[in-house]
Structure 1
Amino acid sequence: MVATVTDVYLNPHQARRRAPTQFEDLLGDSIERAYAAGIHELDALVAHLNRTGPSCPYNQGVWTAANFQEEIARLAA
């Protein structure tokens, strides 16, 4: 008899501690739309977020490269 090995993988939902907030859902959707449109550079991504939203939760709603990186680091923690 031959034993088979199934691939082991991490389902992203297994790793999260809570459901995403509405802001996190909107931010993720906007980033996905930017990537789908061929936007891959940070400055262009920030410009896309400033055009389409969601607004930055601080800094008077305006995204910058610095506060985008800070927010993504905060969300990933």
Structure 2
Amino acid sequence: MQELYLKVHQTRRREPTPYEDLLGDTIERGFAAGITELPALVAHLNRQGPNFPGGGEWTVKGYQAEIARLAAEC
């Protein structure tokens, strides 16, 4: 019988970078803490890291652009 579901990491083109792992872990911890709104998630990233690429603080627009950039690379 053919497997109907994707296998773990079947669709990614490469291994995640340490930055991507840390970003994902921090986002997951935010969700686990009950954060459901984007401004609160951005504030969580500013408290917990990683730093925004290139320096400065995370903003809602910066977060959206970075997630879109990472999604395009996958």
Give the greater-gyration-radius structure (CA).
Answer: 1
Q: Percent identity?
A: 64
Match 2:64 to one of 52, 57, 69: 69
Within 5 Å, which residues of 2 pair with 1:1-77?
Answer: 8-58=4-54, 60-77=55-72
Q: Using CA pairs under 8 Å that are at least 6 residues apart, name the structure with larger relative contact order, 1 or 2.
A: 2
Taking structure 2 as the reference length, the TM-score comes to 0.90
Q: Which runs of 5+ in 2 are unaligned?
A: none
Q: What is the CA distance between 1:11 and its match in structure 2?
A: 2.2
Give 1 or 2: higher helix fraction.
1
Q: Which runs of 5+ in 1 are unaligned?
A: none
Taking structure 1 as the reference length, the TM-score comes to 0.86
Runs of 4+, deviation exceeding 6 Å: none
What is the count of residue pairs matched by the alignment? 72
